[in-house]
Amino acid sequence: QVQLVESGGGVVQPGRSLRLSCAPSGFTFGNYAMHWVRQTPGKGLQWVSLISYDGTTEYNPDSVKGRFTISRDNSKNTLFLQMNNVRAEDTAVYYCAKERVAFSVTWSMYQWGQGTLVTVSS
């Protein structure tokens, strides 16, 4: 049974940094591309980043480009999101999500974690 458990959320001041982690289980982590998706309170979903199964390729939207970095350690079964120079508008629940097909990118989120809340506030 696939499980994804996010951690690392909390309150952070504007301009500071935070690193989120995602601990997977129930599947071979190193075989699957992974996403980060966020949801602002009471609002919709926004894609944050994608990393290939081997960590060699990543994609992210302009809203976080240059500030957020997705990475993974397949030897330690962990996905990361490094968030630098955070802004108030980065306040959201951050979900990690798994791709459906191994060794491929289908641009879909087949399984999701329960999320971790990041609040940017002074």
Partner 1 sequence: NLILTQPHSVSESPGKTVTISCTGSSASITTNYVQWYQQRPGSAPTVVIYEDNQRPSGVPDRFSGSIDYSSNSASLTISGLKTEDESHYYCQSYDSSNHVVFGGGTKLTVL
Residues 6+ apart with CB under 8 A from 84: 17, 67, 68, 69
Nearer to partner 1, 91 or 100 (CB): 100
Nearer to partner 1, 54 or 73 (CB): 54
Binding site for partner 1 (CB under 8 A): 35, 37, 44-47, 50, 59, 61, 95, 100, 106-115
For the chain, how many residues are written? 122
Cβ neighbourhood burial of 36 (10 Å; 0-12, 13-18, 19+): buried
Nearer to partner 1, 58 or 77 (CB): 58
**Shortest Å distance, C-beta 115 to partner 1:** 6
In the 8-state DSSP scheme, what is residue 70?
A: E
**Shortest Å distance, C-beta 10 to partner 1:** 19
